Amino acid sequence: MTAVPRSALATNRLKRLAGFALGLVLFYAPFALLIRLFGLLSPASAAGTSVADAHGACLRMPLGWLAQPWMWASLGNNALYWLPIAVLPLAAVATGPLFCGWLCPAGALPEYLSHAIPDRFKFDFKKHVSIVPLRYGFLAGILFVPFVASSICCSFCNFTQMQNVVSAASGNLSGFAFFSSMGLLAAAVWVVPLGLFTKGGRGWCLFLCPAGTVMGLASWASARLPWFPRVRANASLCSSCGTCSDVCPMRAIDVDESDQHTVNDHLCVQCQDCVGTCPTGALEYRRPS
């Protein structure tokens, strides 16, 4: 493998870190500026019934309502729910899941923490399991389960865990109360085996985030349309060095039988760590040629 241009990688990771800080301010209490903006459009918010925190970007609840038609009225009187249902997936159609790669602190926290652990101690899911069918299977399960059993609750959600971290860090001591029982176990799984000890650090994003999976599906479905940019590989420039695959946090670089590297649109979050590090410039964030 050729040497990775580490300065380009570090620069891109710093830019993304600034994006995640922005995401924290936009989506998470005590700031939640974007959630508050959507809340202003909502009669439910005006009545003081909406909570201005990461729950405003929750896709799991509207998905669960497929089995609870009496809840559909919530979609009419609370503009907040259109953020995860429509705005984020449509943005993923237009640009790819930039939210995941550049704004989501819940994905970023374990990813950045994992940089502290040497790669030899990490498990590379890509080498051992079929990530894409597992990912869609978990999403289908989350859609299916409310019809036959209990809905999967907030404690399984990394948005909730991240909100609890931010609440606790910003002085709201009730945030600590959630780190007990199931909350503690879910947070531990999110950060330790699926974060610190996962190659790329985004194991939870790979398998268990319904919002990320829906955005990945939207991105894949629209990737071939001529208007929308994605990270794309130019096969004629690829030297098959494997640098892109090594730095990809989502394990989204596939290698075909002729050793050419391609981007898996189901998984790619358009973070562009690979773009700056490719020694031959074979990867670009661009429209289809």
Partner 1 sequence: MSAVSRENVATFFMAVGAVGVTGFVARVCPTGCASCTTCWSALLPAGTAVASLGLAVAGSAALRARTAAHNVVKRETEVQSPDETG
Which spans of this chain sit near partner 1 (rule: CB under 8 A)?
Answer: 125, 128-130, 132-138, 140-142, 144-146, 148-156, 177-178, 180-183, 185-186, 189, 207-208
What's the burial of 227, exposed, middle or buried (CB within 10 Å: 0-12/13-18/19+)? exposed
CB 261 within 8 A of CB 240: yes
Residue with smaller CB distance to partner 1, 17 or 189? 189
The single-letter DSSP state of residue 211 is H
Task: In angstroms, give the least distance from the CB of 25 to partner 1.
Answer: 25
Residue with smaller CB distance to partner 1, 137 or 288? 137
Task: In angstroms, give the least distance from the CB of 133 to partner 1.
Answer: 4
The single-letter DSSP state of residue 146 is H
Residue with smaller CB distance to partner 1, 94 or 196? 196
CA dist., res. 239 & res. 190, Å (int): 35
Residue with smaller CB distance to partner 1, 9 or 188? 188
Residue with smaller CB distance to partner 1, 148 or 169? 148
Task: In angstroms, give the least distance from the CB of 184 to partner 1.
Answer: 9
Task: In angstroms, give the least distance from the CB of 141 to partner 1.
Answer: 3
* DSSP letters for 224-288: TSTT--EEEE-TTT-----HHHHH-TT--EEE-TTS-EEE-TTT-----HHHHH-TT--EEEE--
Task: In angstroms, give the least distance from the CB of 121 to partner 1.
Answer: 18
For the record, the structure tokens of 228 come out as 């929308």
Task: In angstroms, give the least distance from the CB of 173 to partner 1.
Answer: 14
Residue 177 neighbours by CB under 8 Å, 6+ apart: none
Distance of CA 68 to the CA centre of its chain: 26
Task: In angstroms, give the least distance from the CB of 158 to partner 1.
Answer: 13
Task: In angstroms, give the least distance from the CB of 169 to partner 1.
Answer: 18
Residue with smaller CB distance to partner 1, 78 or 198? 198
CB 83 within 8 A of CB 57: yes
Residue with smaller CB distance to partner 1, 174 or 236? 174
Residue with smaller CB distance to partner 1, 16 or 230? 230
Q: Per residue, what are the HEC states of 166-204? A: HHHHCCCCHHHHCCCHHHHHHHHHHHHHHHHCECCCCHH
1 closest CA partner among 241, 239, 238, 240: 241
CA dist., res. 43 & res. 165, Å (int): 29
